[in-house]
Amino acid sequence: MSKDIVLAFSGGLDTSFCVPYLRERGWAVHTVFADTGGVDADERAYIEQRALELGVASHATSDGGPALWEHFVKPFVWAGEGYQGQYPLLVSDRYLIVDAALKRAAELGTRAIAHGCTGMGNDQVRFDLAVKAQGNYEIVAPIREIQKEHTQTRAYEQAFLQERGFKVRARQQAYTINENLLGVTMSGGEIDRWQAPGEGARGWCKPRGEWPSKPLQVKIAFVNGEAVSVDAENLAGHTLLAKLNALFAPYGVGRGMYTGDTTIGLKGRIVYEAPGLVALLTAHRALEEAVLTKQQNRFKPEVARKWVELVYEGFFHDPLKADLEAFLTSSQRCVSGEVTLQSDGGSVNAVAVESPHLLHGAGATYAQSADWGVAEAEGFIKLYGMSSTLWAQVNRQ
């Protein structure tokens, strides 16, 4: 008798392989696609059709956009730091995918969960720890299983599917591509060989030759640190981020290459594109710099780096993450206002900031005017630098 198992499914090479692999081992496979905003209606229909042609017992699609905004985008933007100062955590939808799979498992009355993560990457850690944090489940990872015997995993998966009459998309043969509301990541092929990415390694962002000639200006409004409107149009969070993706991708904003230290110790090299998220981070940081105190702006990056590390390494449900988010929430109580962004292509800058909470002294402007006297400034400098000045005097040769 077959046993029910829920497979987190994207329609890509790895999860497509998992379906017949699991079926041949006696599982009734129920696929779940958590739509976290990276696909259009045609692709969503393709994913469902792909699952059915592979022979699943059932397929379900869930809307993960609102949860992704609430549980990841908001605290990530409040933190304001990428992993190792660069990478904007574009695969953090994995945690919401796990939630969708566990919900489906509860509906089916099964405790068996499967995923298509490899044994060399970070996603396996994120999936497994997120599942373990929420209950006692059996976790099946077919890609990890075949890696015990096969070194050329992708080639083996392609051959396995083709031998059973299932086609493999050409793009899936060259790259591992992850796409969601947050952005696109691409690895594999020449990227893994430390070479310049080919033309196929491009997602949403247009190349320089296709950037519009007219500069783009966009105004984003924030209330308590959360973006609520674009150009005076009030939007739900996930819809707002999708709009920013559409606005800034034609200008090539948010594309980069990144080599990072993975959770399991390898170096990971990817091409990533996150036009909307990079624009949002830029606007939020400009507003924060103007309304937070000097001590807040100095201390907050320490909290941010730890929050980012926890999320990157799989500890999405660790209590420390919730503790750090309590601080981040408190830090946003005066981060309200509007920021105007401008892009001429390739990058984005905050060119104007408006807020009732700007820490601007009425009688003083940096390097221009002051409402204190020269004697006060000289006294401040003397006391402020006393320790260093004394050291220089005592130890001067």
Domain termination site, one of 126, 146, 176: 176
Please give the Cα distance from 239 to 200 (Å, whole number): 28
Domain termination site, one of 130, 154, 176: 176
Same domain, 41 and 170: yes
CATH code for the domain of 319: 3.90.1260.10
Take residue 232 and report the two structure tokens written for it. Answer: 């005076």
Same domain, 33 and 121: yes
Same domain, 194 and 89: no
Same domain, 190 and 336: yes
Tell me whether residue 28 is in a domain: yes
Q: What is the dihedral of CA 37, 208, 261, 263, to 10 degrees?
A: 10
Tell me whether residue 362 is in a domain: no
Nearest in space to 268 (alpha carbons), one of 116, 81, 118:
118
Tell me whether residue 232 is in a domain: yes
Within its chain, how far is the Cα of 127 from the centroid?
Answer: 15
Q: What is the domain extent for residue 15?
A: 3-176
Please give the Cα distance from 84 to 308 (Å, whole number): 9
pLDDT at 172: 56
Tell me whether residue 36 is in a domain: yes
Same domain, 165 and 32: yes
Q: What is the dihedral of CA 194, 198, 201, 205, to 10 degrees?
A: 110
Q: What kind and span of H or E run contains 180?
A: strand 176-180
Same domain, 323 and 384: no
pLDDT at 4: 97
- Count of the separate structural domains present in the chain: 3
Please give the Cα distance from 336 to 377 (Å, whole number): 32
Lay out the sheet containing 233-234: strands in order across: 233-234, 226-230, 216-223, 337-343, 349-354
Tell me whether residue 282 is in a domain: yes
pLDDT at 392: 87
Nearest in space to 303 (alpha carbons), one of 292, 32, 55:
292
Domain termination site, one of 152, 176, 200: 176
Same domain, 168 and 86: yes
pLDDT tens over the chain, length 397 residues: 569 999 999 998 999 999 999 999 999 999 999 999 877 889 899 999 999 999 999 999 999 999 999 999 999 999 999 999 999 999 899 999 999 999 999 999 999 999 999 887 789 999 999 999 999 999 999 999 999 888 888 899 999 999 999 998 876 567 778 889 999 999 888 998 999 998 888 999 999 999 999 999 999 999 999 999 999 999 999 999 999 999 999 999 999 998 988 887 788 899 999 999 999 999 999 999 999 999 999 999 999 999 999 999 999 999 999 999 999 999 999 999 999 999 999 999 999 999 999 997 666 555 566 777 889 888 988 998 889 988 888 888 6
CATH code for the domain of 21: 3.40.50.620
Same domain, 194 and 285: yes
Task: Classify residue 151 as exposed, middle or buried by CB count within 10 Å of its CB (0-12, 13-18, 19+).
Answer: exposed
* Cβ–Cβ < 8 Å for 5, 19: no
* Cβ–Cβ < 8 Å for 252, 208: yes
pLDDT at 393: 87
* Cβ–Cβ < 8 Å for 133, 317: yes
Nearest in space to 131 (alpha carbons), one of 100, 162, 163, 171:
100
293 Cβ contact partners less than 8 Å away, ≥ 6 residues apart: 359
The counts of H helices and E strands in the chain are 15, 14
Residue 290: what residue type? A
Tell me whether residue 160 is in a domain: yes
3-class state of residue 117 by DSSP:
coil
Tell me whether residue 241 is in a domain: yes
Tell me whether residue 363 is in a domain: no
Same domain, 120 and 189: no
Same domain, 92 and 210: no
Same domain, 65 and 147: yes
* Cβ–Cβ < 8 Å for 184, 275: no
Same domain, 169 and 192: no
Nearest in space to 247 (alpha carbons), one of 272, 212, 281, 286:
212
Nearest in space to 234 (alpha carbons), one of 224, 226, 260:
226
